[in-house]
Amino acid sequence: MNIEFSIADIVPRRTSVRNFSSQTIEPETIRSIESFVDTVDNPFGRTVRFYFLDAEELSDQPKLGTYGVIKGATRYIGASIDDAPFALEALGYEMETVILYLTSLGLGTCWLGGTFSRKAFARAMDVGDSQLFPAITPYGWSKKKKHAKEHLMRKMIRADQRKPWDVLFFQNDFDTPLTKKAAGELAFLLDMVRLGPSASNKQPWRVLLKDHTLHFFEAKQPGYSDAFAYDIQRIDMGIAAAHLDLAAREKGIRGEFDFSGEPALPLPDEWKYAFSWRAD
Ligand SMILES: Cc1cc2nc3c(=O)[nH]c(=O)nc-3n(C[C@H](O)[C@H](O)[C@H](O)COP(=O)(O)O)c2cc1C
């Protein structure tokens, strides 16, 4: 996949859009999106399937509900995957890459992992029963103003805020916060991780820098991460991996993901090791 937009520009610019205008998207733009989606890959070695839907083109007009969360959208992209290790991380990585591409075109998007009628969308998109179908995004031109429910949602989950560095990032052990100075050139990568979207803005990513390696952990929220048949917060971990990896490529910072196993470290309760990234 070839990323021709700037991660430093686009990551801060992306924000969830839930109110869409009726302005159509040019056919040429749709073709560019389809071509881009075809090229997207992930470091987790899983195959993610994408589905395009234009609800206006459906003959029987099924009720594609989003619990009143999304208004005015007719176009959606869905993603599914076989249930396997690292499947949800792979889906998070690829879908977020697509979302950043859509943002670079000026289009609005919103990750939907909960507030959509999964069955109706699965049927309309022809997603196989054996597939995990964890998320979709609407896409289109955003309306200038947010709708009332959107305002309320953003306020409740403090969607504009992110946890500070000293809550998210550590050095050598979990008692020592990682400073930007100590992170050096890796600071930009972690800044990009920190700005990522996450389910209900819970920001479960925790990162420990040790021996030139960034170890990623998921601060699981019991009762939230297990509310589905799978752990939705693993998608957030995949999003973090995408932001890290794409930022590293942009800056020419070399490194590799390491899935070889968990580092021997005493972990805070409810934290789960996810993956590592080793700087060369
Ligand atoms: C995996 C995932 C699932 C999400 N599911 C929903 C959802 O079901 N409904 C919704 O309105 N927003 C959903 N969101 C959007 C988040 O609420 C949003 O990203 C977060 O509040 C931060 O706001 P921002 O995207 O504007 O930066 C989801 C985000 C992620 C990453």
Q: What is the pLDDT of residues 72-125, one digit of tens each?
A: 999 999 999 999 999 999 999 999 999 999 999 999 999 999 999 999 999 999
Evaluate: CB of 248 within 6 angstroms of ligand 1.
Answer: no
pLDDT digits (tens, 9 = 90+) for 180-194: 999 999 999 999 999
The Cα 200–Cα 153 span in angstroms is 9
Evaluate: CB of 113 within 6 angstroms of ligand 1.
Answer: yes
Per-residue pLDDT band for 250 (boundaries 50, 70, 90) equals very high
pLDDT digits (tens, 9 = 90+) for 125-143: 999 999 999 999 999 999 9
Domain extents in the chain = 7-152, 165-279
Evaluate: CB of 201 within 6 angstroms of ligand 1.
Answer: yes
The Cα-based distances of 185 to 43, 163, 181, 251 in angstroms read: 22, 21, 9, 9
The Cα 58–Cα 124 span in angstroms is 8
Indicate the top mutation candidate among 13, 95, 111 to test ligand 1's pocket, ranked by most ligand atoms within 8 A of CB.
Answer: 111
Indicate the top mutation candidate among 48, 116, 121, 198 to test ligand 1's pocket, ranked by most ligand atoms within 8 A of CB.
Answer: 198
Q: Note whether 14 and 42 are within 8 A (CB).
A: no
The Cα 177–Cα 174 span in angstroms is 7
- CATH of region 165-279, choose from 3.40.50.300, 3.20.20.70, 3.30.1490.20, 3.40.109.10: 3.40.109.10
Q: What pLDDT does 166 receive?
A: 98
Domain 7-152 CATH superfamily: NADH Oxidase (3.40.109.10)
Atom of ligand 1 nearest to the CA of 116: 8
7-152 and 165-279: same fold?
yes
**Which residue has the CA at smallest separation from atom 1 of ligand 1?**
199
Q: Note whether 141 and 109 are within 8 A (CB).
A: no
Whether 218 has a pLDDT exceeding 90, the answer reads yes
